[in-house]
């Protein structure tokens, strides 16, 4: 069964850091680009980052560029999101996602909640 399982969320103080993980199973992880998408409480979906299959290319929107880093370990079938200089605006459920049958996101994890608060 194809599955993505996020972990690493929790409560962090403003200005702090957190690293999220996404464990993939059921498909050849190293063949596919992977992404992070977040959803603030009661709000819509926001694309956060994408990394190519080989890790050669990474992409971020302006809202997180310079603060977030995306990486992957293809030997461990795991995707990471390193988040630094966190603010209350980063409070959200963070989903990992990928496109297996299409470039669209056809596989989603269940999400992990990040709360930035003092």
Partner 1 sequence: EIVLTQSPATLSLSPGERATLSCRASQSVTSGYLAWHQQKPGQAPRLLIYGASSRATGIPDRFSGSGSGTDFTLTISRLEPEDFAVYYCQQYGTSPPFTFGPGTKVEIK
Positions touching partner 1 (CB under 8 A) are: 35, 37, 44-47, 50, 57, 59, 61, 95, 99, 101-106, 108-111
| Closer to partner 1 by Cβ: residue 13 or 25 | 25
The nearest distance, CB 83 to partner 1, in angstroms, is 18
- In this structure, are residues 49 and 70 in contact, taking their beta carbons and an 8 Å threshold? yes
Nearer to partner 1, 16 or 113 (CB): 113
Report the alpha-carbon angle 69-73-78, nearest 5. 85
For partner 1, give the closer residue by CB, 35 or 78.
Answer: 35
In the complex, least distance from residue 116 CB atom to partner 1, rounded to whole angstroms: 21
Considering the complex, what minimum distance in angstroms separates the CB of residue 41 from partner 1? Answer: 12
Beta strand residue intervals within 13-77, DSSP E: 18-25, 34-39, 45-51, 58-59, 68-73
User: How many whole angstroms separate alpha carbon 85 and alpha carbon 27?
Assistant: 34
């Amino acid at each position: 069964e194809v599955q993505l399982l996020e972990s690493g969320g929790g409560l962090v103080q403003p200005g702090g850091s957190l690293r999220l993980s996404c464990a993939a199973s059921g498909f050849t992880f190293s063949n596919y680009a992977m992404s992070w998408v977040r959803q603030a409480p009661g709000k819509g979906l926001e694309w956060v980052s994408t990394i190519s299959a080989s890790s050669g290319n990474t992409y971020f929107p302006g809202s997180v560029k310079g603060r977030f880093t995306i990486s992957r370990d293809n030997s461990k079938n795991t995707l990471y999101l390193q988040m630094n200089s966190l603010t209350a605006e980063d409070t959200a459920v963070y989903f990992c996602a990928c496109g297996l049958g299409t470039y669209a996101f056809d596989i989603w994890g269940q999400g992990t909640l990040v709360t930035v608060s003092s």
